[in-house]
A and B are shown apart, each in its own frame.
Chain A
Amino acid sequence: MQSLDQLFENSARSLAKRTSRRSVLGAVGRLLTASVALPLLPFDRSSRALAADVPATQAKDDPKSCDYWKYCAIDGFLCSCCGGSSHSCPPGTTPSPITWIGTCHNPNDGRNYIVSYNDCCGKTSCGDCTCNRNEREKPLYRASRNNDLNWCMANSDVNYHCSVSVILGVAG
């Protein structure tokens, strides 16, 4: 097993030398297309997103709710509360070139959808509609499944503002 690890790591180093960061990230994103839902940051950042007086079924259809079905892997601030929507960044921000892919179940039509999670960058924290969903989230050593990282890290301005979830298609 050690030799396998070394082989992998040597390959990874070689790949890193030959490949740009963005192309690696794009490849990682494509590889993840078939994977299941991804998540984001820690702690209870649910604020108004999990308002107790909102029925669960209604919350699952509200893009400003942390329970919105498409946010099964989102974390941070919901862009829909910050001047954007569930799939658009607020004015003046820049989408992160790094994206990671998950699958969310839409209870309304019974389908699983492949979604892309992007951060919107270039302004400081939105600070509203904090949301933390961690199903199948993994620690930092599995970066492609980790939401503790600031995924604006590859932007020219690494300030994290908010997060979106963009439907890419129906899974399977």
Chain B
Amino acid sequence: MTTRVCNRLLFALTLVVGALSRAVCYGAATQRPPLPVEQLTVEQLGPQSPHWAYVVDEAFLNEIDSRVYLFDADSYQRLGQIGAGFYPGVTLSPDGRTTAVATTYFSRGSRGARTDVVEFTDNKTLGVTGEIVLPPKRALTLPTLFNLAYSADSRYLFVAYITPAASFGVLDPVGKKVLGEVDTAGCVLVIPSGPNHVSSICESGRLLTVSVDSRGKETSRSLSATFFDPDTDPIFVQGIPTDNGYAFLSFLGQIHEIDFSGPQPMVQPPWMIVTAAERGRWRPGGVQVAALHRKLRRWYIPMHEGGEGSHKAGGTQIWVFDARTHERLARWPVPAKQQGSVLALQVSQDDHPLVFAATEQSNMLVLDAMTGELRHVESHLGQTPWLVLTAEGAKGRTVMKSGTRP
């Protein structure tokens, strides 16, 4: 056979094989059973996990549409969402079953009559179960743990007001009503302790502590000792729950631990997270500036290199400390160039803890809290995720069981 004949035979064979293949495949497809009819359903949440993060997105580019994302750091899935309106204050009830959101709405969406309200969401269904309408005085500021906070026994809910006159509202979350309002003489935010005590941070470097009665009225007030200097080394207002109260981090890296387990806050001696050589050069910063694993007794603190005025810069490293010895255990690098520096940090409170680190690029880093291993990057978890809450973290706030109910 000539080469030309061979080529023609080969071409014909290719056509035959191709046609046969298509016939076989088409036949198989036509024999496959059709997809079943689907039912439209609504997903149900499983049991609450310590690795669930309630991520508050302030939605800075369109602030009337803030929201809270429920993110599962095991499956790396968003599980749901809670609406949060305008400049929200968000907190979880001590039993973790409820998310309370203090927010503001406008009657015509982006304008119109202002309504301030606290909304309660069932964390099992993510449905809103009730609300309390507030006077239009809510503090319109960044989310902190202390814009809105439950008393240890969940009997009261306290909400910070700034008009700019400072005060706070006392709410009944069961009866769904406002009980009263307490003037705080310029001291701000609501730091709950025990059944009926609320502390606020004062410009004088002290805490004002007010006790309220069952009608939401003030029964007593007192000032703590001065424990920080707002001129030379202010504290961040983002408190971190400890075993017996809260700790506050200063701009230059002092940790002020406050024992709230007694009738009055007791200020403990501060300790430094930076060496003398690092002081003023390495600083904490961001919005949610530290977290503590209370059982492991480990601190996790985003740190950056910067000078005065850099206190809102995110961390390029996460420093880990032993809460007992104050020894620095590790300096974990953050892939800040790729993912952004860390603006908000939280740690789960379980025996296999994870660190949640929300970045300025709106990414959520999930790290092994024991090793610092970066396990996952959830890209673009919202727009401006500035506060990360966990249900276990909320339970840990039930400090100061002592005290007499009014």
Cβ of B104 within 8 Å of any chain A Cβ, yes or no, is yes
Shortest Cβ distance from B208 into A: residue: A9
B165 CB contact (under 8 Å) in A16, A141, A149, A160: A16
Scoring A10, A16, A42, A149 by chain B CB atoms within 10 A of each residue's CB, the highest score goes to: A42
B311 and A140: CB pair below 8 A? no
Q: How far is the CA of A160 from the CA of B140 in the complex (A)?
A: 10
Q: How far is the CA of A41 from the CA of B201 in the complex (A)?
A: 19
The reply on A103 being an interface residue by CB < 8 A is: no
Q: Closest B-chain residue to A122, C-beta based?
A: B111
Please report which residues of chain B, range 357-406, place their CB below 8 angstroms from some CB of chain A when the two chains form the complex: 360, 384, 386
Q: Is A143 an interface residue (CB 8 A)?
A: yes
Is the pair B188, A140 in contact by a Cβ cutoff of 8 Å? Answer: yes
B137 and chain A: residue at smallest CB distance: A153
Q: How far is the CB of A52 from chain B (nearest CB, A)?
A: 13
Interface size classification for chain B: 35 or more
With A134-B311, A149-B164 given, is the CB distance from A43 to B64 under 8 Å? no
Q: Judge whether B314 and A44 touch: CB under 8 Å.
A: yes
Inter-subunit contact B142/A42 (CB<8 Å): yes
**Does B61 sit at the interface, judged by CB under 8 A?**
yes
Using A135-B308, A136-B308, A138-B234 as known contacts, say yes or no to A160 and B162 having CB atoms under 8 A apart.
no
Chain B residue at minimum C-beta to C-beta distance from A134 = B309
Nearest opposing residue in chain A for B236, CB measure: A139
How many angstroms between the C-alpha atoms of A127 and B206 in the bound complex? 37
Q: What's the minimum C-beta distance from B137 to chain A, rounded to whole angstroms?
A: 9
Inter-chain CA distance A31–B52, complex, in Å, is 47
Contact assessment for B312 and A25 in the assembled complex, using a CB-CB cutoff below 8 Å: no
- For residue B306, give the distance in angstroms from its CB to the closest CB of chain A: 10
Measured CA separation A10–B110 after assembly (Å): 39
What's the count of A-B pairs with C-beta under 8 Å? 137
Mostly, the B contact residues are loop
- A108 at interface by CB-CB < 8 Å: no
B189: nearest residue on chain A (CB-CB)? A140
Min CB–CB distance A19 → chain B (angstroms): 10
Q: Which residues of B contact A39 (CB under 8 A)?
A: 309
Q: Are A143 and B61 in contact (CB under 8 A)?
A: no
| Chain B residues in 8 Å Cβ range of A41 | 142, 312
Residues of A within 8 A of B226 (CB): 1
Contact partners of A12 in chain B: CB under 8 A: 185-186
Find the A residue at minimum CB distance from B136. Answer: A158
A154→B163 contact, CB < 8 A: yes
CB distance from A6 to the nearest CB of B (A): 7
* Neighbouring A residues of B202 by C-beta, 8 Å: 5, 141
Q: Check if A150 is an interface residue, CB within 8 A of chain B.
A: yes
B347 is an interface residue with CB less than 8 A from chain A? no
Asked if A111 CB lies within 8 Å of chain B CBs, one says: no
CB-based contact A6/B165 at 8 Å? no
Do B309 and A148 touch (CB < 8 A)?
no
Alpha-carbon distance A124/B165, docked complex (angstroms): 24
Q: Contacting A125 at CB < 8 Å: which of B63, B162, B208?
A: B63
B204 at the interface (CB under 8 A from A): yes
Question: Does chain A have a CB within 8 A of B313?
Answer: yes
Let me know if B111 and A21 touch, CB within 8 A.
no
A-B contact pairs, 14 of them (CB 8 A): A2-B223, A5-B204, A16-B183, A43-B312, A123-B110, A123-B111, A136-B308, A139-B201, A139-B235, A140-B201, A143-B162, A143-B166, A153-B164, A159-B64
